[in-house]
Amino acid sequence: MKIGIFTECYKPTINGVVSSIETFRTQLEEKGHEVFIFAPRHKQAKPMPNVFRVPSITLPSPKDYPIGIPYLTNLHPLISRLNLDIVHTQHIFLMGGFGQNVARKLNIPTVHTYHTMMTEYSHYVPIKMLQGLVKEFIIIRSKRFCNRANRVIVPSHAVAEVLKSYGVKTQIEVLPTGIDLKQFKKLNLAERQRLLTKYHIPVKRKILLFVGRLAQEKNLGFLLESFKDIVEKEPNVHLVLVGSGPDEENLKSQSSKLKTEDNVTFTGFLQKPEANKFFGAADIFVFPSTTDTQGIVLAEAMASSTPVVAINKLGPKDFVNNNKDGFLVNLTKNEFVDKILRLLENEKLRRKFGQNARENAKRLSIENCTKKLIEIYHDTKNSYYSQQTT
């Protein structure tokens, strides 16, 4: 099968969408399928086979997200020669619209993955009065775009329900991004000691871990406030935040004001193999976000036999079995702190949850998820062409 992926972001930009594209692309190509990617030009991008770039502009912020302007170039003759079987869009704006336009001209079906609850990112609009209007526009655009697709993929059941509330009638499939289980394991004592020493973290401390973008939508201010209460009751604990982002300096300042800086480490951005080690070194993975549609880091922590404490909203509901391999809690500091302390103080429970987490993560293997994606492609094609003959 020949698959055309149309996306607003691609390497060297690093985020969950790019990770999802790359994870599935690699697996699809290993199974003999051809994947062609259409993305905005990026100043740091290196030429890659089967990756086609469209003209782009870069706004003052964020600089790592150039905006593609596909209608400033004529890629249609080239795309026609590729003989695509299906178009898979990743965003609902310019590149997604371009992908749907291509599909109409080629008379082939489209699949769309709705990765992100974009209404939860309206705080990036600099004029506060416009934020409500932006949310309304996103809801209308999401409904229209998804209803033009032949199939919609979402990373969790919670997102499916949100799209239905928008008025999306297209068939929706739930499919999270899979993980390569071989990349994740619990570190032994020597490995753990080497890693913590490298980052100047006292090796005898219990480790709480967050991995992800350090941005407002991740609710990390809530995490730091909660951590202050945790340290007061359990001084031998250390919070590690792996990642970078626009809120990094603000979060460091907040930690200093809370007087927890001696128990908090900001590693900055780490390459994936290095970041993966922290999943295996942590005692508990903490996830305060209320906007993530899946939070693939949850599955990665669980694959490393690390239990999770997460806010019970959107994506985490599909990943964590509450009271079996972690805790799902309401957005209240007392409950969040209470469940973390319960795991910190009960090693037997922590180990049991960790073992259960590893077993749960197996269902999210990249092999299983890619198999389902291929089934969705084939079913979408069959439905599309059968409708044309009736």
Quick: pLDDT tens for 333-380. Answer: 999 999 999 999 999 999 999 999 999 999 999 999 999 999 999 999
Q: Taking the CA of residue 245 as centre, how many other CA atoms within 13 Å lie in the half-sphere pointing to its CB?
A: 17
308, 331 Cβ separation under 8 angstroms: no
Domain extents in the chain:
2-178+366-388, 181-363
Model confidence over 73-115: pLDDT tens digits?
A: 889 999 999 999 999 999 999 999 999 999 999 999 999 999 9
More confident residue, 246 or 29: 29
More confident residue, 122 or 213: 213
116, 141 Cβ separation under 8 angstroms: no
Nearest to 142 by CA among 161, 174, 166: 166
Output the pTM of the full model: 0.86
N residues, the chain: 390
CATH class (in words) of the domain with range 2-178+366-388: alpha beta
The reply to whether 181-363 shares the fold of 2-178+366-388 is yes
Per CATH, the number for 181-363 is 3.40.50.2000
